[in-house]
């Protein structure tokens, strides 16, 4: 928009629902001071400032959420023309009238939270150094350019992955000052609250964010920014209404070269999980499996859906998102698993366990449900999964490690019951691993493959003779059935003669 007030009109249109900030800088000093009334938006939304009003940039204590603020020309702003003199006799009276733990005006209402997190609620974080309450953010892309917007709150129980692009005008400056590039800004100096609060933050309500192998701070070296965060993965454990129990974060770093107009693609993942697994899942059939329904498995007394590895957009294996195995549908997936920094240790056993755990997922499957309506209390409806690991001995290679690179899940099933309403049930499941030698110094990303095959073992019975078939033909001799009956019943010819005599007698009576 053009004109001196164009951006201000844009602000009013976009942020009609954004309240003004609390009075900033209001204090009682000699000569008085003005209470600032401002309307703020995220800095990334403002590209040019041509408003006649006073503007400035405000940042939170962590420096991650810069705001572009416009100071309103409000005639109602208060001024302290002459500070009141407080005497010793009036001190108690003023203390009771104005003394409180908050600087909010009486007309302003403090936000209220529920007693526990609900699905989609923002996750609250707390800065101890400044006593500031904020929200855990998950950056998302904005517009066709896909630029990062850092103000998007992460929703409780909303496991998802996002990606966006950052562009740097001056990389040498942004490398050491931009908190989005520093891993420490994603876990240091703040804690996550177990449940929302409406009063003072107690120490028992805080959950520290633990970093898994945190990288060093970004720094410039030979026109290259080293240790730049390219991926952030939050793993949050929750327990029903008890709220968040633990939070861990993992990072992937990369290097950026250049000085001007450098760009970086960042990925952000928030994953929620719980140790208390559900004992009941929707049926996958009643009783037989339905094609396309999830395959039911059991682990440690809890029913789950069988799942396999799933790839991210860059071809790497997702650490949290997996494909669900659907009954009757063959599947094949492929992705790459990073072995960094395991290669430095050259620990073959550790590498093998890492790949096996990647194939298993969070919980290793132990039993499978024979039918789609199996219940844990019915032991006859569950069978053990057969697991065939591969040999770990390398052949003609002293510096190799035999690691599993292919998992084939073989599922045998059949149909039982009536021909008019057959029911599908599983006969057996086998996990068959195939290993290949891997040289420690040659590969940092291992390609792995998962294959799921369903084999129909149904043995259809012969249809009963009472149901004519299309290929049946009549005999050429019309008396063929009678002759066959006479041949079969030769031993009963005497009885047949008596029957014929009786028929003749009855016929003669009716004729006369």
**Residues 191-215: pLDDT tens digits?**
999 998 877 788 888 999 999 888 8
| pLDDT at residue number 453 | 96
How far apart are alpha carbons 489 and 291 in whole angstroms? 52
pLDDT digits (tens, 9 = 90+) for 235-286: 998 888 889 999 999 888 888 887 667 889 999 989 888 776 555 677 899 8
pLDDT digits (tens, 9 = 90+) for 311-344: 887 788 887 778 999 999 999 999 988 776 554 4
| pLDDT at residue number 495 | 63
How far apart are alpha carbons 357 and 278 in whole angstroms? 22
| pLDDT at residue number 49 | 61
pLDDT digits (tens, 9 = 90+) for 398-429: 667 788 999 999 999 999 988 888 999 999 99
Q: Are strands 55-58 and 67-71 parallel, antiparallel or unpaired?
A: antiparallel
| pLDDT at residue number 183 | 92
What number of other Cβ atoms are within 10 A of residue 418's Cβ?
7
- Listed range (45-54, 134-143, 418-427) with the worst mean pLDDT: 45-54
Binned at pLDDT 50, 70 and 90, residue 8 comes out as very low
Beta bridge partners of 337: 446
pLDDT digits (tens, 9 = 90+) for 79-100: 545 667 788 888 878 777 776 5
| Helical residues (DSSP H) of 160-290, grouped into ranges | 171-177
Q: What is the mean pLDDT of residues 489-493?
A: 55
* Model pTM score: 0.51
Is pLDDT at 360 greater than 50 in this prediction?
yes
| pLDDT at residue number 483 | 59
Residue with tokens 């005999």: 475
| pLDDT at residue number 7 | 40
Percent of the chain with pLDDT over 70: 71
pLDDT digits (tens, 9 = 90+) for 272-306: 887 765 556 778 998 999 999 999 998 777 788 89
How far apart are alpha carbons 399 and 342 in whole angstroms? 15
Q: What is the mean pLDDT of residues 461-473?
A: 64
| pLDDT at residue number 343 | 45
| 388 and 407 Cβ atoms separated by less than 8 Å | no
Is pLDDT at 51 greater than 70 in this prediction?
no
Q: What is the mean pLDDT of residues 13-30?
A: 36
- Quote the tokens at residue 185: 């800004």
Q: Which of 294, 338, 336 is nearest to 311 (CA)?
A: 336
Q: Looking at residue 24, what DSSP letter applies?
A: B
| pLDDT at residue number 484 | 58
Binned at pLDDT 50, 70 and 90, residue 372 comes out as very high
Contacts of residue 47, Cβ cutoff 8 Å, sequence gap at least 6: none
Q: Which residue has the higher pLDDT, 273 or 37?
A: 273
Q: What is the DSSP string of 377-438?
A: T-GGGEEEPEEEPPP---SS-TTEEEEEEEEEEEEEEEEEEETTEEEEEEEEEEEEEEEEEE
- Listed range (7-21, 49-63, 185-199, 286-300) with the worst mean pLDDT: 7-21
Beta bridge partners of 386: 430
Q: What is the DSSP string of 278-340?
A: -S----SSSSSB-TTSBPEEEETTEEEE-EEEEE-TTSBEEEEEEEEPBTT--EEEEEEEE-T
Average per-residue pLDDT for the chain: 78
**Structure-derived torsion over alpha carbons of residues 280, 285, 288, 289, reported in degrees to the nearest 10:** -90
| pLDDT at residue number 24 | 36
Q: Which residue has the higher pLDDT, 13 or 347?
A: 347
pLDDT digits (tens, 9 = 90+) for 147-175: 998 889 999 988 888 999 998 888 888 88
Q: What is the mean pLDDT of residues 183-189?
A: 92
Q: How far is CA 365 from CA 122, 221, 304, 305, in A?
A: 33, 48, 9, 9
Q: Which residue has the higher pLDDT, 22 or 495?
A: 495
């Amino acid at each position: 928009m053009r004109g001196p007030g164009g951006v201000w009109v844009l602000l009013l249109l976009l942020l009609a629902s954004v309240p003004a900030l609390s009075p900033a800088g209001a204090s009682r000093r000699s000569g008085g001071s003005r209470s600032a009334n401002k309307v703020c938006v995220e800095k990334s939304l403002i590209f040019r400032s041509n408003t006649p009003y006073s503007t400035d940039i405000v940042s939170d204590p962590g420096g991650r959420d810069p705001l572009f603020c416009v100071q309103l020309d409000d005639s109602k702003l208060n001024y302290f023309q002459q500070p009141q003199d407080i005497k010793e006799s009036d001190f108690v009276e003023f203390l009771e009238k104005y003394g409180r733990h908050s600087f909010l005006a009486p007309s302003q209402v403090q936000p209220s939270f529920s007693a526990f997190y609900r699905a989609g609620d923002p996750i609250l974080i707390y800065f101890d150094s400044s006593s500031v309450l904020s929200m855990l953010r998950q950056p998302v892309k904005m517009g066709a350019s896909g630029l990062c917007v850092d103000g998007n709150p992460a929703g409780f129980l909303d496991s998802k992955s996002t990606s966006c692009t950052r562009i740097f005008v001056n990389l040498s400056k942004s490398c050491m000052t931009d908190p989005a590039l520093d891993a420490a800004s994603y876990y240091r100096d703040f804690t996550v609250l177990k449940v929302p609060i409406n009063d003072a933050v107690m120490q028992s309500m805080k959950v520290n964010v633990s970093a898994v192998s945190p990288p060093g701070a970004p720094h410039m070296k030979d026109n290259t920014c080293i240790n730049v965060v390219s991926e952030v993965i939050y793993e949050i454990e929750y327990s029903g209404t008890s709220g968040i129990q633990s939070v861990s974060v993992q990072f992937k770093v990369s290097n950026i070269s250049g000085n001007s107009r450098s760009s970086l693609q960042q990925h952000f993942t928030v994953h929620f999980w719980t140790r208390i697994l559900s004992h009941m899942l929707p049926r996958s059939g009643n009783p037989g499996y339905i094609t396309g329904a999830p395959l039911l498995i059991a682990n440690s007394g809890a029913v789950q859906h069988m799942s396999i590895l799933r790839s991210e957009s860059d071809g790497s294996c997702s650490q949290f998102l997996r494909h669900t195995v659907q009954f009757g549908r063959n599947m094949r997936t492929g992705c790459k698993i990073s072995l960094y920094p395991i290669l430095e240790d050259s620990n073959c056993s550790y590498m093998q366990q890492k790949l096996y755990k990647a194939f298993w997922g969070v919980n290793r499957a132990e039993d499978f449900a024979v039918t789609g309506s199996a219940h844990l209390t019915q032991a006859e409806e569950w069978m053990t999964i057969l697991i065939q690991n591969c040999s770990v001995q390398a052949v003609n290679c002293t510096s190799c490690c035999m690691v599993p690179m292919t998992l084939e899940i073989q599922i045998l099933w059949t149909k039982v019951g009536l021909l008019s309403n057959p029911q599908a049930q599983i006969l057996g499941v086998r996990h068959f691993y195939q290993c290949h030698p891997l040289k420690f110094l040659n590969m940092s990303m291992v390609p792995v493959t998962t294959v799921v095959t369903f084999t129909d073992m149904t043995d259809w019975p012969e249809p009963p003779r009472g149901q004519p078939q299309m290929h049946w033909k009549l005999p050429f001799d019309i008396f063929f059935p009678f002759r066959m009956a006479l041949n079969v019943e030769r031993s009963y010819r005497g009885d047949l003669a008596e029957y014929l005599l009786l028929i003749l007698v009855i016929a003669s009576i009716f004729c006369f």
